[in-house]
């Protein structure tokens, strides 16, 4: 898909990743809350996929990498954190606030700061389960 002049594809990729990472973080947070309240991850995903919360995260990431506890999607916390930092820079350059990016960036940055930079980013669900239960 052609999105504009030279450089537009890079901007589009970063914005795409921003949206994808935000959806992933929100889904992980929701699943962690549901688990805390006694709901099954499998049941929650089935409901998400039958409703408006359906996404690549619920259809692919959770079934392939999180439910089987393989955590091997191929992307590290370092990569995701770098992408989110680049999106933050785009926002500053455009003089455009990105409060959702600010929130999700903190998730990824927390993982990197905890020494998990080389770990697969799908492990964020484990960090959220531990962190949010406090």
Task: Tell whether pTM > 0.85.
Answer: yes
Ranked by mean pLDDT, the top range of 7-11, 46-50, 120-124, 126-130 is 46-50
Res. 3: pLDDT tops 80 = no
CATH placement of domain 8-132: 1.10.1040.10
Sequence spans of domains, the chain: 8-132
The 3 state secondary structure assigned to the chain is CCCCCCCHHHHHHHHHHHHHHHHHHHHHHHHHHHHHCCCCHHHHHHHHHHCCCCCHHHHHHHHHHHCCCCCCCCCEHHHHHHHHHHHHHHHHHCCCCCHHHHHHHHHHHHHHHHHHCCCEHHHHHHHHHHHHCC
Q: What is the pLDDT of residues 76-132, one digit of tens each?
A: 999 999 999 999 999 999 999 999 999 999 989 999 999 999 999 999 998 888 877
Per-residue pLDDT band for 2 (boundaries 50, 70, 90) equals confident
């Amino acid at each position: 898909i052609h999105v504009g002049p030279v450089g537009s594809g890079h901007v589009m990729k970063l914005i795409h990743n921003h949206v994808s990472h935000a959806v992933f973080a929100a889904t992980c947070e929701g699943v962690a809350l549901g688990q805390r309240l006694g709901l099954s991850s499998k049941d929650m995903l089935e409901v998400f996929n039958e409703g408006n919360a359906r996404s690549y995260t619920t259809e692919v990431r959770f079934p392939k990498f999180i439910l089987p506890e393989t955590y091997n999607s191929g992307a590290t916390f370092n990569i995701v954190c770098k992408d989110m930092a680049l999106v933050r820079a785009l926002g500053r350059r455009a003089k455009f606030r990105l409060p959702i990016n600010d929130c999700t960036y903190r998730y990824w940055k927390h993982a990197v700061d905890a020494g998990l930079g080389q770990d697969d980013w799908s492990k964020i669900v484990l960090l959220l389960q531990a962190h949010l239960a406090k």
